[in-house]
Chains A and B, each alone.
Chain A
């Protein structure tokens, strides 16, 4: 990595991993659980997950919780799970781009995946002839097959030896030259030799025949491959031609359970095929309805089998591309004694329910259906009824009677009407961001940290999401407290043994007043409380067994259980400025900089220590640690003074107030709390001191239990106000609330200490609040008392959403008001106008429930486009404020808010569209055209009014506001337009790229144009001569999806193959382009190799796996450094953090190399090769790999730390700070 030494390097981190599921399977991988308690083994992007369904007793709370997840640093393509006979748990198989088969199982002791076998069968990478695209395993767990799209198949036989170890055979190949494999599946043959079925097409003859006749005669073959376990080889045992449109197969149970064989799913029909029985065929029912095309044929996209072994009964659930799920059953012939035989005679299909189209549908024995959705959130449905009664909805029953099993024969199509969920109900919605079309980080609300705005989803389930870093709170009560500003509060128990809080004290330092509330069924003001109310309280606590202590500026008031009052007045001419207490100990800081220490005896009386040491400066904050469980006293107290120091004192009775250590700070401490928390890495309780500073910084340090020294200091900036710390309890663990310009929660999350803001306004003080009905928090927020709970502490992002109409393509913001404009379009979909016409002709205008229509999806129709532009206000209205539907097959592709200079900088909205677009269809006939619509923005941008639309020869993929004009790309040309009365007026034109401009960005007079396949071109606009000259382009073809200028010279972008890159303009080219006037030079420079005169320099390159859709230079947290934030199609949020110092680059480079060697990726892909998938990785260090350090074993950590000559803790701190400094 010598390159990183020379130029800017970046640290790549994933903020939110992709949520699109690639493959999923049910398994029983966790030992000791019931067979019905199945888990889900799932692959999303480059990560693998093991999920469990967690439910409470009466099934009112159902959740999918992740047991373990791991980044495998490879493209996961398939997963499988199977049980080797005689073993207790399922083996998990991962097929990836490593050219290896990885056999894993779940190690419950370490809660991690354990690799059992890793066998190489081919080259790495995704190649045409390297198996890995398809994966199938024998249902009896004897072998598995991996297949490639062309030619190769390998079979591994797995077994168990006498020592109960899993052994894997050498690969058995079954290769067939010039044969394409459309799908494989395993047959259930009982305990006979395992058979795999494949759908194959031989292209050899079609290719060598110049007349094309052989191509017309090509056939799709169903091929059986029998694995002969005795002879240890694989033979092709049966071949037969099937319907050419066959796409997916499912194995039918065999042995005692059923007839064996396969379901071959084709377009509009499903066949049952087997070599021993005659074929059967059933048409797939089509949707009926005024807006449905009666001739449209569906295919099956996913399905699952339910087999009840005890009763030898089974059924399939098969899902069509519309999302309709059918229950598929087979009827067997009866023999003379009326017993069922293994000869199927009839197929049945019954419409079950409609779910989002799935990548994988899983039936879980506990009674759930897991739908790993292709687009949008994955969902878990609870099965209420298996639709076993044929009398229920008899019109939805379909059979194979009278349908010929000959693919060429005609048949009568069947129809059904889709409806809302009937047999199942939604149990859990798995949060996800897939597919994420665009994101933009912006601050619309004026909070201290920006929000992430995202357009997400497809069809009518698309949304505009507002995401914030923070935990959502559930507000229970917010009651006004009057005009007085309260600044602190305490919740007190009556006795130490009580479970619930009884008193709530609120103190106002400004008003020198305390109010006491009693907590019962209701929270109400207490009239005759024992507490002093005409003073401000400094601290209040319940000490000893049942003594209530209130500290105020002039002294201490303690209320004994008997009701007797004890008072300790402050020494003359001194007041109390700070105080802290635990069960037995009380420490006061006096205005004379003296400390006063008290210990409470068993009688509930406070005894003062005579010694009163004086501090070096004015005491600003102090804290005694909480009393450790089972002990009488805490060991240390920490005192902070205005000379920017904190000191640790021993407060044990024998060595009371002996100083232990000192630590200097960068600012005056305003709040200190000593909290005993679990250290997640070593799992022991450690005393942490949390310090809030005047400057808004937050520090956390560890107090050494023996010496009292402070160590492992972590710092974080929380906000612009002085930080105050409050100890709280979160999920039965200790945590803190740190309150600055907004409240933050500090807690242990998934093995790391995390600070996450709470999504609410500024909070003065927060304390735990426990009653019989509620476990939550109470807080002073402004002039109200806020009582709230935290629904979950799992995620780190909270989001709210506004529904959209169609698949969103682009978004732009109104420059002044918090309104987004979203261009939306859906291909092969009926436009709203056409739909309304059809509906009104049918007379069924109303009566379609919005929720149901959302669930059923949009009406499909080939060649049609549905499109609209919406103004969305996510802040105040939380809805789309205006919608304009497009007609005439136009599709909105891009939009920009443009202030036109000629209209006195009034902002207009420009929307680029395409008409008669035919994606995926070879170009024939009239070429698609484009339009630019100009809208006038009314009512602060919440309303739009069409001004005019201007036609163009090609679809418009990019519009951009440029110096009071509109820059737009029409094919390969870049234009500047001004707004006229009836149309746009052309001002300048330049042919700058090779194919089609897909995105434009600019700074000053410089524009960058991204081409659909040829990377980006820098263009300079010469205003005096009104010319646009492309002067730098790239040497690599980058199929750019997004590009942004990060400074005047440098651009960052992403491409369709999942790369992120940073390129820079050479210095000389940059200078020449900025010369006065045309300068004669850049315009006369000779073009080099048919392109621009200069070439871009590559600065950084990184393979991310997911396709970057947006990239932006922005800060993500308040006071954080700017980073390159990107978002990927499958729901990834990530960032590239620029390194500040050379030492860091060297350190992380070394760390990355060491971790690569210490823990090679699980699926067997070489990490460096993976990140260099298309272009060698350059100038980027993989932060996700560096964060694996935290998950290494103790020995592994020690070894690596020794290599980099640092402590383990220090390495951990460095790795964590790379993330927390700039993001979350």
Chain B
């Protein structure tokens, strides 16, 4: 029983430290949000990629960066209604 508790604690500390660490009840919404946020973070983190997108959309890199940041707020829409 103690073992189980420790595993639980370890998992919780991991979830706290690293956003996106899943758990048994991860919903589709959580999972897809995480992926979308990771992608948006990656787009702005790689300067050539941000540059590429900015040229494609015909705007400055700062605007593209803000669009990526804004996308991270609610990347796949609000969470679906829970049943209970």
Query: A residues engaging B (CB < 8 A)?
Result: 20, 22, 45, 75, 77, 97, 126-129, 132-133, 148-151, 177, 180, 182, 201, 203, 206-212, 215, 218, 247-248, 299, 301, 321, 357, 359, 374-375, 435, 437, 458, 807, 826-829, 919-920, 1056-1058, 1105-1107, 1128-1130
Residues of B within 8 A of A1129 (CB): 48, 51-52, 55
A22–B48 alpha-carbon span in the complex (Å): 9
- Please tell me if the beta carbons of A1107 and B49 are within 8 angstroms of each other in the complex: yes
A458–B54 alpha-carbon span in the complex (Å): 11
- Please tell me if the beta carbons of B74 and A203 are within 8 angstroms of each other in the complex: yes
8 A Cβ contacts from B33-62 to A: 33, 37-38, 40-42, 44-49, 51-62
* Option from B47, B57, B59, B82 in Cβ contact (under 8 Å) with A321: B59
- Please tell me if the beta carbons of A827 and B78 are within 8 angstroms of each other in the complex: no
* Residue total for B at the interface (Cβ-Cβ under 8 A): 43
A321–B64 alpha-carbon span in the complex (Å): 12
Residues of A within 8 A of B73 (CB): 180, 201, 203, 206, 215, 218
* Option from B38, B64, B69 in Cβ contact (under 8 Å) with A180: B69
- Please tell me if the beta carbons of B45 and A827 are within 8 angstroms of each other in the complex: no
B63 at the interface (CB under 8 A from A): yes
Residue contacts A-B, CB under 8 angstroms, 6 given: A77-B45, A149-B40, A212-B78, A375-B55, A829-B58, A919-B57
- Please tell me if the beta carbons of A149 and B79 are within 8 angstroms of each other in the complex: no
- Please tell me if the beta carbons of A207 and B74 are within 8 angstroms of each other in the complex: yes
- Please tell me if the beta carbons of B60 and A321 are within 8 angstroms of each other in the complex: yes
* Option from A182, A211, A829, A1105 in Cβ contact (under 8 Å) with B66: A182
Residues of B within 8 A of A208 (CB): 79
Q: Nearest B residue to A123 by beta-carbon distance? A: B18
B81 at the interface (CB under 8 A from A): yes
Distance of A76 from chain B, by nearest CB (Å): 8
- Please tell me if the beta carbons of A826 and B60 are within 8 angstroms of each other in the complex: no
A827–B82 alpha-carbon span in the complex (Å): 42
Distance of B69 from chain A, by nearest CB (Å): 5
- Please tell me if the beta carbons of B82 and A210 are within 8 angstroms of each other in the complex: yes
- Please tell me if the beta carbons of B57 and A807 are within 8 angstroms of each other in the complex: no
Q: Which 7 residue pairs spanning A and B have beta carbons closest together?
A: A827-B58, A126-B45, A128-B41, A920-B57, A828-B58, A301-B62, A321-B60
Known contacts A375-B55, A1107-B52, A149 near B38 by CB under 8 Å: no
A359–B67 alpha-carbon span in the complex (Å): 17
- Please tell me if the beta carbons of B60 and A357 are within 8 angstroms of each other in the complex: yes
- Please tell me if the beta carbons of B57 and A827 are within 8 angstroms of each other in the complex: yes
A75–B50 alpha-carbon span in the complex (Å): 13
A828–B57 alpha-carbon span in the complex (Å): 8
Known contacts A75-B47, A215-B74, A807-B55, A149 near B41 by CB under 8 Å: yes
Residues of A within 8 A of B56 (CB): 827, 919-920
- Please tell me if the beta carbons of B46 and A75 are within 8 angstroms of each other in the complex: yes
Distance of B83 from chain A, by nearest CB (Å): 11
Residues of B within 8 A of A299 (CB): 62-63, 66
- Please tell me if the beta carbons of A247 and B62 are within 8 angstroms of each other in the complex: yes
Residues of A within 8 A of B51 (CB): 20, 374, 435, 1129-1130
Known contacts A209-B79, A321-B63, A375-B55, A126 near B41 by CB under 8 Å: yes
Known contacts A182-B66, A1130-B51, A301 near B60 by CB under 8 Å: yes
Q: Nearest A residue to B30 by beta-carbon distance? A: A207
Residues of A within 8 A of B54 (CB): 374
Distance of A1101 from chain B, by nearest CB (Å): 17
Distance of A809 from chain B, by nearest CB (Å): 10
* Option from A129, A201, A248, A827 in Cβ contact (under 8 Å) with B18: A129
Known contacts A207-B74, A207-B78, A374 near B61 by CB under 8 Å: yes
* Option from B45, B48, B67, B74 in Cβ contact (under 8 Å) with A1128: B48
Distance of A1038 from chain B, by nearest CB (Å): 14
Given A203-B74, A920-B64, 7 more pairs with CB closer than 8 A:
A129-B19, A210-B79, A215-B73, A215-B78, A321-B59, A374-B54, A1056-B49
Distance of B75 from chain A, by nearest CB (Å): 9
- Please tell me if the beta carbons of A203 and B72 are within 8 angstroms of each other in the complex: yes
Q: Nearest A residue to B78 by beta-carbon distance? A: A212
Q: Nearest B residue to A209 by beta-carbon distance? A: B78
A247–B44 alpha-carbon span in the complex (Å): 14
Residues of B within 8 A of A126 (CB): 41-42, 45-46
Residues of A within 8 A of B38 (CB): 127-128
Residues of B within 8 A of A827 (CB): 56-59
- Please tell me if the beta carbons of A1058 and B48 are within 8 angstroms of each other in the complex: yes
Distance of A171 from chain B, by nearest CB (Å): 14
Distance of B38 from chain A, by nearest CB (Å): 5
Known contacts A20-B51, A207-B79, A212-B78, A1058 near B41 by CB under 8 Å: no
* Option from A20, A920, A1057 in Cβ contact (under 8 Å) with B47: A20
A264–B83 alpha-carbon span in the complex (Å): 43
Q: Nearest B residue to A921 by beta-carbon distance? A: B57
- Please tell me if the beta carbons of A435 and B55 are within 8 angstroms of each other in the complex: yes
Q: Which residue, A22, A148, A920, A1106, has most C-beta atoms of chain B within 10 A? A: A920
Known contacts A149-B69, A150-B37, A807-B55, A1058 near B46 by CB under 8 Å: yes
Residues of A within 8 A of B61 (CB): 301, 359, 374
* Option from B16, B41, B62, B77 in Cβ contact (under 8 Å) with A127: B41
* Option from A22, A150, A435 in Cβ contact (under 8 Å) with B41: A150
Distance of A714 from chain B, by nearest CB (Å): 36
Residues of A within 8 A of B63 (CB): 299, 321
A148–B45 alpha-carbon span in the complex (Å): 10
User: Per-residue CB proximity of B11-27 to A under 8 Å, as 1/0?
Assistant: 00000101110000000
Distance of A707 from chain B, by nearest CB (Å): 53
- Please tell me if the beta carbons of A458 and B55 are within 8 angstroms of each other in the complex: yes
